[in-house]
A = this chain, B = another copy of it.
Amino acid sequence: MGIQERKERERERRRQQIIVAAKRVFSEKGFTKATMEDIAKEAELSPGTIYLYFKNKDELYASLSLRILQYLNIRLEHVAQQKGLSNDERIKALKEAMFDVYNFDPLVVINMFHLQSSETLKNLSPELLAEIKQLSQSSLKVISEIFAAGIQDGVFIEKHPVALADVLWALFSGVVLWEESKKIINGEKDYLKETLEVAFDIFGRGISKSVA
């Protein structure tokens, strides 16, 4: 029985090794310019081997996002479970969790949002798509429950909490992507932190029933 398990572990380790290599290459060259050969070389494998572990290039790319989605989930759960936070503090904690996830690995987060907004999504295996779906739904659920609680308490406006969660998610991804574009278009420096502060501030004020 032990051999089966060892093989399982070895397979998983090789998968991770490929993911690490892919991440490096994608980060350096971008999705299109990174070739499967580049990645294979980085992982010290032959191109064909990668296909024993990932269906295709899109799927390998998408796999990078899974870990960060898991991390996001954990951070959000944490925010939800903290006791004794006012609703304002909880929004603030939400902001910090998201910014924290971004800082944990900015390139992968940007990748994830690129992915989210692209036809690549249509090329994934049902299994991987289901995993992504499950993780993102779970994150949104946590967020919307936080909002539901605030509405219950009468401090947030009475909108559908799921819609509020969608708006927050859209705001976060929108700001990240837009700041990234600005860097490319205008060669501007990175205002992400500042813009995100403003965005969350406005959002927090906007969903509060009364503002000082």
Question: Taking beta carbons and an 8 Å cutoff, which residues of A are in contact with B?
Answer: 30-33, 113-114, 116-119, 121-122, 129, 132-133, 136-137, 157, 159-160, 163-164, 166-167, 169-175, 177-182, 184-186, 191, 194-195, 198-199, 201-208, 210-211
Contact = CB atoms under 8 A, between A and B. Distances in A.
> Which 7 residue pairs are nearest across A and B when measured between Cβ atoms?
A174-B174, A206-B206, A202-B206, A170-B174, A117-B177, A170-B178, A205-B206
Contacts of A157: 202, 205
B119 A177 contact: no
Q: Which of A121, A180, A195: most chain B Cβ within 10 A?
A: A195
Contacts of A31: 119
Q: Is the interface of A mostly helix, strand, loop or mixed?
A: helix
Contact of A203 (B118, B160, B181, B206): B206
Given A174-B170, A174-B171, A121 B194 contact: no
A129 B206 contact: no
A117 B119 CA distance: 13
